Structure 1
Amino acid sequence: MATTSTKHVLLFPFPGQGHLAALLEVARLLRRALPADVKITIVSTPRNVAALRASSSASPSSSVISFHALPFVPADHGLPADCESTISLPLPAFLLLFEAFESLEPAFDAYVSGLVEDKDDCVVIADVFVAWTVRVARRRGCGHAILVSCGALGTAILHALWKNMPALPFHDDGQLLRLLEHPEVELHRSQLSQVFLSGPSPGMDRVTAYMHRQIRHGYLTDAVLVNTVEELEPTGLAMVHRTIGSKVPVWPIGALVRDGSGSDTAPSETDAAVMRWLDSQQRASVLYISFGPQNSILPKQMMELATALESTGRPFVWAFRLPAALDVDGAEECLPEGFEARASAASRGLLLHGWAPQVRILAHVSTGAFLSHCGWNSVLESLTHGVPIVGWPLSAEQFYNVKMLAEDWGACVELARGNDPESPVAESREVAEVIETVMGDTAMRRRVVEVRELMKRAWAEDGRSSRTALGEFFTAMQLH
């Protein structure tokens, strides 16, 4: 008697916090949408698997998601002994982790080979930074899809930038750049990460070579899944289609947003204290400030921001992270003397050193705006809860997220760009003006609510855009 094959979806994230969160949300979505007899397994290294398992434990839809750990010894790749994610690495060392993950191909291949021998019919969904997984999928006869965890516009622009590295087509005395692949897009030098502005060097050559390898692998995939909504990013999605080619379908299956459980869960005392403080504030009066789990602005920028907060008297919650160059006692070098004590005594502001329950803060009725680096997860979390954004992009696709939020969606005002010591510093007066403009802009708030409703409708029961796209992906991969 012939053995019936088992459908099995393997999800392979890249271990950056936003990437892990996005793929975990995909896993939860698949578990809710696919038949119970379809297996779902997240594959990574031991510490990442442990963290993902802990993050998923609070979600009922994650209770039947499996995990598989590939053997990995960080020290073999020049990494600290306990380092398996970007969370514990300084930015210059990211390349070591990128390259180390490429070395997982033989172990992943052995794992998939065993599943295929056991009659599992596998589909691999991999983060764009582990696009090399397509080689295993092709070798073992599996379907393959790449998950783009950021938006479509940012993805298309970053792809074009890396593809043209190191010879970016600058003009106007090196201040402007027009992309050959997307001539309608013109970027200012200030909208590029420092990595694109660095001169030739052995280290930069390695980074570019790594990105070029992933780009080549990406062209071999069967599908591209994007964490966005079709109605919000028609231009960006058209750019991704143009980039990947007509033979590879691009399906927007967003917005995939954390629900406040799992990795966004804090010790209950901390969580409760933040929520109690927010409960004491007026509706839509609080400014939430966060530049992401690994980013910070410069000390002189922090000083101007803190001065602006004091001048406005605006209540705030600040997920405070010291610049990497400062030690644990360096806060006094970044803030006006006595700033934190005055804010606390007047119950006017909270500085959360390190962790912040971001989704819960954004969901609270007292939160009126989000001063953000505009990483894609933060953008979606803010808009999902109807919170307008003050944009301060620092790197990667964040500059293009802000561009789209401000120019196309009317959901944001850009305050500043980057944290380069050579960049102009937004003075406290300007910071205060922008914050108060966004907090008081009722038209922007209405627009953000419209965006939120559009994102909800994408998953409506009558088969709106994201729900339809996911169904088409299932059909193409024979997962029904």
Structure 2
Amino acid sequence: MSNFTLTVPSSLAMASTKHVLLFPFPAQGHLGAFMSLAELLHRAIPSAAVTLVSPPRNVAALSATAPPWLAFHSLPFNPADHGLPTHAESADALPVGFPLVTLFEAFEALQPAFDGYVASMAKDDSVVSIVSDLFVAWAASVARRNGCSHAFFASCGAFGTAILRSLWENVPLSVTPTGHVPVPGFPGKIFHKTQVSEVMLRADGEDRASAFCHRQIAHSHATDGVLINTVEEFEPTGLGLLRSSLRVPVWPIGPLIRVAGARPAASADKVHDGMVSWLDTQPPASVLYVSFGSQNSIRQAQMAVLAMALEHAGRPFIWAIRPPVGLAVAASEWLPEGFEKRARDENRGLVIRGWAPQVTILAHRSTGAFLSHCGWNSVLESLVHGVPLLGWPLAADQFYNVEMLEKECGVCVEVARGSTEDAAPPEIDRVAELVETVMGQTSKAAEMRRRMKCIGELMRGAATDDVGSSKKALESFLGATRMH
């Protein structure tokens, strides 16, 4: 849920027969962002009905902890019919390394059922507005056919979204002899090929991933605009690039983040409480939190280097870990022999397999830095809680998030890059040195913390001040979609 409350004028809360349909792509970061968006819209227009649409298992999981005002609608979906593992209705349910494009393609098969549902709603006098994920872009065409307004909700940042869209529009990509990739349409934006996902480097315009992205881009022209989980003052460059390429209104309404203390299930209570108790025993700003997100991981050789670097750095840590990429080994064999036991015995670190209460960790006074893949939700949660970043991007927009955070914002230091077979593990001493640079008594660390504090204040102000940019953007969106 959103951590901030927008105080919206009473004119936005007038009684009406208005209905907002939310259609996220089923990945943890996307689902969480859409749940936060649902809360934001409910606070702004409490008289409107808000319904989230997804396949049955996702609906069951989300509705178990959802507020009573949020409705759900299940769309029929059998994963096995689409070559997916049994019960895999979300990206988080896929094995590490399973081609995500299979789930993207499978979701396209939901279009007839969604079209029928929207058509049944559009028969009455309701004003229906559809907000869909960028990966469910065909929902814009459904909206057009049924006379509904439509907006995309981009749960990624503006800069990363703009770069990714341009690159996918122009595959196969041009790679210079020095290994650099110019971004078409954005003069001066050039990245190294190690900052481009492997699937995109291989794309020839005819492969499955290219075909899917081109279909979604074609559908996207039917939208009325884009909501995006960022802040105008924080991403002026990225928002400028996005607006110039999309040529539709772009409304930055962030930051939408989860609330500290939220838990996905009662089974997580023990993990949550034990971790908080351990954090309570640590000095302020002393703990390094390590996580590569709910879908990503690094290779076993990279894990070994990171583990040794953590020991070498000597700082307390929490490591939320997933199985290594490309190797099916027992959990006890993921890390160097004795690593976890030494960490426990010395009260120096925790290794968590499975769910970890990320926002609770970042909000805790003992957390001093976050070694992250820099997915956008993790970035926002770190920024809002003032925790400097060590970036290890692995895919998609993560490379461009790190680029912006390090070079434009000065709140991140890149530690390593990628988890492909040819991605060499970083040097142990270098990782340990960078951890100390960000967490120690250095001028770099002091400047990063100062910048983090300024950004956090900026973001809170955008959402809560009477003339805050995110508050005004939300009001503009509601007016444009007749939700006013």
1:231 aligns with 2:233: yes
User: Aligned-pair distance for 1:5?
Assistant: 6.9
Task: Give deviations 1:360-386, integer Å, cap 9, x for gaps.
Answer: 000000000000000000000111110
Separation (CA, whole Å) in 1 of partners of 2:339 and 2:408 = 37
1:126 aligns with 2:132: yes
1:42 aligns with 2:52: yes
Separation (CA, whole Å) in 1 of partners of 2:360 and 2:366 = 11
- Structure 1 match to 2:320: 319
- Structure 2 match to 1:270: 271
Letter in 2 for 1:66: A
More divergent stretch after superposition (266-275 vs 220-229) = 266-275
Larger relative contact order (C-alpha < 8 A, sep ≥ 6)? 2
- Structure 2 match to 1:59: none
2:300–2:325 CA contact under 8 A, matched in 1: no
Letter in 1 for 2:99: A
- Structure 2 match to 1:53: 63
- Where in structure 2 are the equivalents of 1:291-440 lying within 5 Å? 291-327=292-328, 329-332=330-333, 334-440=334-440
Letter in 1 for 2:468: R
- Structure 1 match to 2:17: 6
- Where in structure 2 are the equivalents of 1:37-186 lying within 5 Å? 37-56=47-66, 62-90=67-95, 91-166=97-172, 168-171=173-176, 173=177, 175-186=179-190
Task: Give deviations 1:373-415, integer Å, cap 9, x for gaps.
Answer: 0000000011111000000000000000001101111110011
Separation (CA, whole Å) in 2 of partners of 1:199 and 1:5 = 47
1:322–1:331 CA contact under 8 A, matched in 2: no
Letter in 1 for 2:417: R
Distance 1:206 1:38, change over 3 A: same
2:455 corresponds, among 451, 458, 462, to 451
SS at match of 1:420: coil
Letter in 2 for 1:418: G
Separation (CA, whole Å) in 1 of partners of 2:336 and 2:86 = 38
Letter in 2 for 1:463: V
1:367–1:387 CA contact under 8 A, matched in 2: yes
Letter in 1 for 2:379: V
SS at match of 1:41: strand
Flag structure 2 segments of 5+ consecutive residues without an equivalent: 1-14
2:368–2:439 CA contact under 8 A, matched in 1: yes
Task: Give deviations 1:89-140, integer Å, cap 9, x for gaps.
Answer: 1444322211111111111111111111132210000000001001111111
- Structure 2 match to 1:187: 191
User: Aligned-pair distance for 1:176?
Assistant: 0.7
User: Aligned-pair distance for 1:305?
Assistant: 1.1
Separation (CA, whole Å) in 2 of partners of 1:126 and 1:342 = 47
Letter in 2 for 1:130: V
2:261–2:357 CA contact under 8 A, matched in 1: no
1:375–1:398 CA contact under 8 A, matched in 2: yes
1:458–1:465 CA contact under 8 A, matched in 2: yes
User: Aligned-pair distance for 1:442?
Assistant: 1.3
Task: Give deviations 1:438-477, integer Å, cap 9, x for gaps.
Answer: 1121111111111111110101231210000000001111
> What RMSD in Å do the two structures reach over aligned CA positions?
1.6
Task: Give deviations 1:33-69, integer Å, cap 9, x for gaps.
Answer: 11x321100011111111221242xxxxx33011111
1:54–1:262 CA contact under 8 A, matched in 2: no
- Structure 2 match to 1:473: 477
Separation (CA, whole Å) in 1 of partners of 2:345 and 2:436 = 23
SS at match of 2:144: helix
Separation (CA, whole Å) in 1 of partners of 2:217 and 2:99 = 21
1:386–1:452 CA contact under 8 A, matched in 2: yes
Letter in 1 for 2:469: S
Percent identical among aligned pairs is 53
1:393–1:399 CA contact under 8 A, matched in 2: yes
1:284 aligns with 2:285: yes
Separation (CA, whole Å) in 2 of partners of 1:402 and 1:25 = 24
Separation (CA, whole Å) in 2 of partners of 1:263 and 1:27 = 18
Flag structure 1 segments of 5+ consecutive residues without an equivalent: 57-61
2:298–2:325 CA contact under 8 A, matched in 1: no
Separation (CA, whole Å) in 2 of partners of 1:177 and 1:328 = 36
Separation (CA, whole Å) in 2 of partners of 1:138 and 1:435 = 51
User: Aligned-pair distance for 1:264?
Assistant: 5.0
User: Aligned-pair distance for 1:418?
Assistant: 0.3
TM-score (norm 2): 0.93
Separation (CA, whole Å) in 1 of partners of 2:373 and 2:99 = 21
Letter in 1 for 2:44: A
User: Aligned-pair distance for 1:200?
Assistant: 4.8
Separation (CA, whole Å) in 1 of partners of 2:195 and 2:151 = 30
Separation (CA, whole Å) in 2 of partners of 1:161 and 1:385 = 32
User: Aligned-pair distance for 1:429?
Assistant: 0.3
Instruction: Work out the number of aligned pairs and report it.
Output: 464
User: Aligned-pair distance for 1:303?
Assistant: 1.1
- Structure 1 match to 2:27: 16
- Structure 2 match to 1:210: 212
1:9–1:122 CA contact under 8 A, matched in 2: yes
User: Aligned-pair distance for 1:199?
Assistant: 5.9
1:230–1:466 CA contact under 8 A, matched in 2: yes
Task: Give deviations 1:171-219, integer Å, cap 9, x for gaps.
Answer: 2x16011112111211111101111222659xx6121111001011112
User: Aligned-pair distance for 1:432?
Assistant: 0.2
Letter in 1 for 2:42: R
